[in-house]
């Protein structure tokens, strides 16, 4: 065998030396190796994990906004201030990097870093649920494994969107990510284009790490789950009062609580309050004039709590809507909103739209 040829032995390539090429036909080096069965990447140490029951008990969870610096990177000082305001007003948990937090506009490195930052700074005061879902099962597994490794208390998992799969595929997708820790399933057909049928949720409820479901398909669905003792959070701010007090929802995963956490606390934690619910509806309806989080981003900028920086393709609401927000703050009462600055009318040129970051 000629010099430079390799043979396979003991799991690695072994070169053959000191053989003359003279008088022999040259043979191409072999580079093939047999693949051994991969070892599991596991640890037997007891993790500082959160019991599923602690996630199930949460009632008011905020889908927290991610603010940006002028170059599009995270503004962690503004982010920390937003989290402090949530904790002060009694919010029990935050969703990090969800749709409201624009996880879809983050790299996975950014995503896991923000989860880790939130856990390290605030994990002792508020439950941190990381949105580690994906339409790729491989990515969802990897991100969820990383999220729990950096200490998040729970995961939010979406069903595969855009490149949709079958109903059976949805079930297998969720089963693939449930092994890592407490998991909330998120059903929002308006974004995914596919409803998660109740029989899938009812099947998953038998799994050890299944915490519950964030449901956006209305209060009849909420009632069905609550009657089976499945923890369910309303995903619709405009329906959450009735979901909580009339249909058995555990609580709400809220967008509006970014702005008025104290009022949302009263709405969900105290007692049935249809008058307050009606008072909040103009704000809630305004927030969802355009796809979330466009309204929220605009509102927080007008309140001076974040820089008016948008990661594209999100752009601010039109100026007429911005004028409406100033009036909504006055009507509802400035004292109920986060921060201490009056809502101002920002002009178009004051917003910065960032496409590269």
What does the block give as tokens for 107?
């790299």
d(Cα 89, Cα 85) in Å, to the nearest integer? 6
Whether residue 7 has pLDDT greater than 90: no
Q: Which residues form the catalytic set? A: 186, 214
Mean pLDDT of the region 50-58: 96
Dihedral over Cα of 16, 21, 24, 30: its sign: positive
Q: Give pLDDT tens digits for 83-128.
A: 999 999 999 999 999 999 999 999 999 999 999 999 999 999 999 9
Q: Give pLDDT tens digits for 128-159.
A: 999 999 999 999 999 999 999 999 999 999 99
Rounded to the nearest 10 degrees, how much is the dihedral formed by the CA atoms of 209, 211, 214, 218?
Answer: 120
Both ends of the chain: CA-CA distance in Å? 55
Whether residue 63 has pLDDT greater than 70: yes
Q: Give pLDDT tens digits for 184-205.
A: 999 999 999 999 999 999 999 9
Q: Please report the pLDDT score of residue 260 as a whole number.
A: 98
Q: Please report the pLDDT score of residue 48 as a whole number.
A: 66
Q: What are the phi and psi torsion angles at 102 (to 5°)?
A: 60, 45
Whether residue 19 has pLDDT greater than 70: no
- Residue 273's contacts (CB-CB under 8 Å, 6 or more residues apart) are 241, 266, 267
Q: Give pLDDT tens digits for 297-347.
A: 999 999 999 999 999 999 999 999 999 999 999 999 999 999 999 999 999
Q: Please report the pLDDT score of residue 39 as a whole number.
A: 72
Complete DSSP assignment for 238-299:
TTHHHHHHHS---EEEESGGGT-HHHHHIIIII---HHHHHHHHHHHHHHTSSSTTHHHHHH
């Amino acid at each position: 065998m000629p010099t430079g040829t390799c043979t396979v032995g003991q799991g690695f390539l072994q070169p053959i030396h000191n053989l003359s090429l003279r008088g022999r036909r040259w043979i191409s080096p072999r580079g093939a190796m047999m693949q051994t069965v991969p070892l599991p990447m596991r640890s037997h140490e007891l993790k500082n994990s959160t019991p599923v029951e602690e996630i199930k008990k949460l009632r008011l969870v905020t889908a927290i906004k991610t603010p940006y610096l002028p170059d599009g990177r995270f503004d962690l000082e503004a982010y920390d201030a937003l989290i402090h305001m949530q904790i002060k007003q009694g919010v029990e948990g935050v969703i990090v990097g969800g749709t409201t937090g624009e996880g879809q506009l983050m790299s996975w490195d950014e995503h896991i870093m923000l989860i880790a930052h939130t856990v390290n700074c605030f994990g002792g005061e508020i439950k941190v649920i990381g949105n580690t879902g994906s339409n790729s099962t491989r990515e969802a597994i990897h991100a969820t494994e990383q999220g729990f490794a950096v200490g998040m208390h729970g995961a939010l998992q979406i069903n595969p969107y855009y490149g949709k799969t079958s109903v059976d595929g949805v079930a297998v997708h969720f089963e693939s990510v449930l092994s890592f820790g407490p998991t909330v399933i998120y059903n929002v057909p308006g974004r995914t284009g596919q409803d998660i049928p109740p029989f899938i949720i009812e099947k998953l409820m038998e799994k050890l790490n299944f915490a519950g479901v964030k449901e956006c398909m209305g209060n009849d669905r909420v009632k069905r789950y609550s009657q089976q003792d499945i923890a369910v959070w309303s995903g619709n701010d405009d329906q959450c009062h009735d979901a909580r007090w009339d249909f058995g929802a555990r609580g709400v995963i809220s967008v509006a609580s970014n702005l008025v956490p104290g009022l949302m606390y009263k709405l969900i934690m105290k007692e049935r309050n249809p008058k307050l619910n009606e008072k909040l509806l103009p704000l809630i309806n305004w927030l969802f004039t355009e796809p979330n989080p466009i309204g929220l981003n605009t509102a927080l900028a007008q309140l001076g709590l974040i820089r008016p920086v948008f990661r594209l393709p999100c752009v601010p609401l039109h100026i007429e809507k911005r004028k409406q927000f100033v009036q909504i703050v006055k009507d509802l009462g400035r004292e109920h909103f986060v921060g201490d600055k009056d809502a101002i009318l920002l002009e178009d040129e004051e917003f910065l739209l960032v496409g590269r970051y």
